[in-house]
Amino acid sequence: MRRHRTTATVLSLVLVGLAAAAAASPSSGGSQAVPRLVFPLVAETDLWDNYGDSRGTHAHAGIDMENPWRAPVVAVEAGRVSYATSGLGGCMLYLYGQSGTMYMYIHLNNDRTAKNDNRGGCVKDVTYAVANGARVAAGEQVAWNGDSGDANGNPHLHFEVHPGGGADTNPFAHLKGALRPLFAARPGSTFSLGLRGTLVGAGATTVELQVDRVRHYPGGSWLRVPTRRVELAVPADAMIPGGLLGDVAGVTRRGFKTSVQVTAFTLKAKTTTDAIVGKPGALRLGRLAPTR
């Protein structure tokens, strides 16, 4: 497995402007404590603690995470975004969180096509999903993962945490304890999801899936995510094949069939942070079927 390096030149370019950028930020400047984060990527991610690794002239200031090219990158807390670029960091983004913490996202996408063409630049709808200066909610998509700068050919996200807009601290514990998003969307927008995985539980008004793939509608494609349990509320008119849950009328555990591979589709709803992170009861089942 390749271990990626963010060079001293990148960090010098980024950190030179950090103090001025933080001073210019309209952050509320509240508590200096870093809040519980939403994980910055919607994708299966190889996460290990490489903060502080030697980079020759300096220690690594963030965490490098291996993950799929063009995976959705999301705001880890509510705040304001600001675009940035450098020759080695490529396409970058600052997020000034409401807590006063500043976050840095480095090596975002710069490809215009499905090939590694490096022709897209660092612009909205290629790199960024929101406008420069936009205020965003936790879990809202802000960019796409990529390999810009000196990461060319090796997609990964370099992520930093700066409490109070000051010096970097180790993001690893914050990332390990972060809420994992199932999808990324703008709060208030209409969405529905496709969920694929294993049926592992059923009650009178709920079903529970061990999910490993998610599709966001409209316009999404199936994306592999870290395997997790998701509890769906089951309305009375949900479409469920007879026998799949045993006593379908009561959806009881007595007749429950275990280890069934299923695809679930949620009912259309308005996006909330609870829905993004898959909080129990935030998603309502519309249709459930065995995966063919």
Sign of CA dihedral 270, 275, 279, 284: positive
Residue 210 burial (CB count, 10 A): 16
Q: Is residue 128 pLDDT above 90, yes or no?
A: yes
Q: Is residue 176 pLDDT above 60, yes or no?
A: yes
Per-domain boundaries in the chain: 8-176, 190-290
In this structure, CATH architecture of domain 190-290: Beta Barrel (2.40)
- Paired with 236 in beta bridges are none
**Cβ 259 vs Cβ 286: under 8 Å:** no
Residues 13-23: pLDDT tens digits? 444 344 334 43
The average pLDDT across 123-127 equals: 96
Phi-psi category of residue 225: left, alpha or beta, with phi > 0 → left and psi -120 to 50 → alpha: beta
**Cβ 168 vs Cβ 102: under 8 Å:** no
Residue 49 has a pLDDT of 74
* Residue ranges of E strands in 14-173: 63-66, 72-74, 79-86, 90-97, 102-108, 135-136, 141-144, 156-162
Which of 129-138, 142-151, 246-255 is least confident? 246-255
DSSP annotation string for 101-133 = -EEEEEEE---SSSS----S-S-BTTTBSS-TT
Residue 257 has a pLDDT of 53
Q: Is residue 255 pLDDT above 50, yes or no?
A: no
Q: Is residue 35 pLDDT above 90, yes or no?
A: yes
Q: Is residue 269 pLDDT above 60, yes or no?
A: yes
Tokens 């001293």 found at = 8
Q: Is residue 275 pLDDT above 50, yes or no?
A: yes
Please name the residue ranges forming H helices in 197-271.
none
**Cβ 224 vs Cβ 182: under 8 Å:** no
Q: 8-176 falls under which CATH superfamily?
A: Glucose Permease (Domain IIA) (2.70.70.10)
Identify the top-confidence range among 43-47, 255-259, 270-274: 270-274
Q: Which residues neighbour 58 within 8 Å (Cβ) at sequence distance 6 or greater?
A: 8, 11
